[in-house]
Chain A
């Protein structure tokens, strides 16, 4: 076994897998970990279960003939497998995670504790509503707070993530237009938008028309007006935008959009910058999703789960999807079918089974209660303060695409300062890994050449930021001195050196297959 550690399951002639520097391949506390398929056994289980009582099976002759082929591990082996794997991950709990647009803030453990109360974790979405009144009340109260914070009329709680929320908001817009007898075919999207915006609009059959930014990185209302006509259904605008700038003409844009009979969808991914400072409802927004896993601190978990409630304006509120909470005589009730909908409600349909991400709702509620309005406003201010501090500390060495101007919760650099150095944005990011940091978001937004988007969040102390900017300054100076190898060979100190993404994409290996050569060698 030992000799195989870290060796490709499908080795090829290109690269044979050189001998690791130690016998085991381990490096001190960094321990190589095989796949469960290399260490598990079909007849081992880490779960003890009683003998099933003998019954006359009612499986209709469809008994599974062959076992799936997923080997088991005992409990200690399982623990060790996953603990070792975990040690190859960077996390917010280990250091600054300055991914722009991702809002990697502290995840309070109180949130985890409360979400695990049996009254939340051990309730079924379809047990009688009379037995889950507390759950429904919590959804109603969280929803109320979200509408209050955003200055909007209503909220759809069921979307399971931000992009799912986009679908929800755009479907509400589509339904409202259809109810007015209109068919509109175009959605305006700024060229700096998250990829989910055009992808969502395209899913709904809309044609996308891009709106380029003006030289200062924001959207010009004139550019929007030029593209508006009676075929435009909506504009999808992120504010603050993906360059970290507040769209200062947002009200003019909203007025122009409304004058054309279209709707204003706001991508709320960057809401963390303005909670307690401004309300989207006051800016002319008709629909906006809120990423509870960003702004309200529910954990990202290596890619999810998320939660994407959508706040809606008066005009769109009647079209909110099933299910929704309806409060009658002070008692909140879940409306789950069209038959059940109160007068005036025209739900556009259903986006998911059940009622949304309850586990995330509890966490977000814990966050809101803990911060209070004063704490949430302070968090936004600190997030913006931190981003501007990073900007101020780096503006002499790193280049900014739209000039050195006040940003919101994130600061955007480009690769002009790397020009002709032989170091790319990717190299620069990988060098940060060797310094013990997670890199910033790179190559997004796509319209900025070699973009590097830094979002420190409010969770970083001044000391943490000082070390981070000092490291970036050191790296920028090394680029200037022509120390190219440090960058091109980075990372050298991570659990893996630079991974070959081209190989992964050319010959995809997406599931484990036992390598024949190893099998025969072992026999």
Chain B
């Protein structure tokens, strides 16, 4: 149940035969108070690197990209009423979508938690 990260500050965590995807704690700090999240419809498929969501603060809108290829099987409905949970729990309750992976091997190209932490140190 390890979490992988991208250099664009998304995270992905495999749970069973699906995975949760969200933005990292670092990303939410950079964005500030999040006010709205535009999520994709269930059933939509994305390729690795595709934009699948938009996270908005008061003065900025940031695209979120798929860390791996897959199909959205659930979007986090709780974020509609409570986008702030991405601020308070970016890497747990603040997940954005649950996806079915097309190719689990794609995970290998991502950063693990230590590598991501090291990467943040260089920013």
Q: Is B83 touching A506 in the complex (CB atoms < 8 A)?
A: yes
Q: Determine whether A59 belongs to the interface, using a CB cutoff of 8 Å to chain B.
A: no
Restricting to B23-67, which residues have a CB under 8 Å from any CB of A?
33, 35-36, 56-59
Q: How far is the CB of A72 from chain B (nearest CB, A)?
A: 36
How many residues from B make CB contacts under 8 Å with A?
9
Per a CB cutoff under 8 Å, which of A443, A501, A506 touches B36?
A506
- Set of chain A residues within 8 Å of B58, measured between Cβ atoms: 501-502, 505
Closest chain A residue, CB of each to CB of B84: A506
Q: Is the interface of A mostly helix, strand, loop or mixed?
A: helix
- Set of chain B residues within 8 Å of A502, measured between Cβ atoms: 33, 35, 57-58
Closest chain A residue, CB of each to CB of B32: A502
Closest chain B residue, CB of each to CB of A506: B35
Give bound CA distance, A506 to B33, whole Å.
9
Give bound CA distance, A501 to B59, whole Å.
9
- Set of chain B residues within 8 Å of A506, measured between Cβ atoms: 33, 35-36, 83-84
Q: Is the interface of B mostly helix, strand, loop or mixed?
A: loop
Q: How far is the CB of B85 from chain A (nearest CB, A)?
A: 12
- Set of chain A residues within 8 Å of B36, measured between Cβ atoms: 505-506
Closest chain A residue, CB of each to CB of B87: A502
Restricting to A496-514, which residues have a CB under 8 Å from any CB of B?
501-502, 505-506
Q: How far is the CB of A311 from chain B (nearest CB, A)?
A: 34
- Set of chain A residues within 8 Å of B33, measured between Cβ atoms: 502, 506
- Set of chain A residues within 8 Å of B56, measured between Cβ atoms: 505
- Set of chain B residues within 8 Å of A501, measured between Cβ atoms: 58
Give bound CA distance, A502 to B34, whole Å.
8
Q: How far is the CB of B39 from chain A (nearest CB, A)?
A: 16
Restricting to B54-102, which residues have a CB under 8 Å from any CB of A?
56-59, 83-84
Restricting to A478-523, which residues have a CB under 8 Å from any CB of B?
501-502, 505-506
- Set of chain A residues within 8 Å of B84, measured between Cβ atoms: 506
Q: How far is the CB of A14 from chain B (nearest CB, A)?
A: 11
Q: How far is the CB of B119 from chain A (nearest CB, A)?
A: 22
- Set of chain A residues within 8 Å of B57, measured between Cβ atoms: 502
Closest chain B residue, CB of each to CB of A505: B35
Q: Is A443 touching B59 in the complex (CB atoms < 8 A)?
A: yes
Q: How far is the CB of B80 from chain A (nearest CB, A)?
A: 11
Most chain A CB within 10 A, of B33, B36, B83, is at B33
- Set of chain B residues within 8 Å of A505, measured between Cβ atoms: 35-36, 56, 58
Restricting to A193-209, which residues have a CB under 8 Å from any CB of B?
none
Give bound CA distance, A223 to B58, whole Å.
33
Q: How far is the CB of B34 from chain A (nearest CB, A)?
A: 9
Give bound CA distance, A505 to B57, whole Å.
8
Give bound CA distance, A62 to B33, whole Å.
47
Q: How far is the CB of A425 from chain B (nearest CB, A)?
A: 12
Give bound CA distance, A443 to B59, whole Å.
10
Q: How far is the CB of A12 from chain B (nearest CB, A)?
A: 13
Q: How far is the CB of B58 from chain A (nearest CB, A)?
A: 5
Q: How far is the CB of A8 from chain B (nearest CB, A)?
A: 18
Measured CB to CB, the residues of B under 8 A from A are 33, 35-36, 56-59, 83-84
Measured CB to CB, the residues of A under 8 A from B are 443, 501-502, 505-506
Mind listing 15 A-B residue pairs with CB under 8 Å?
A: A443-B59, A501-B58, A502-B33, A502-B35, A502-B57, A502-B58, A505-B35, A505-B36, A505-B56, A505-B58, A506-B33, A506-B35, A506-B36, A506-B83, A506-B84
Task: Add 7 more A-B contacts to A501-B58, A505-B36 (CB < 8 A).
Answer: A443-B59, A502-B35, A502-B57, A505-B35, A505-B58, A506-B36, A506-B83
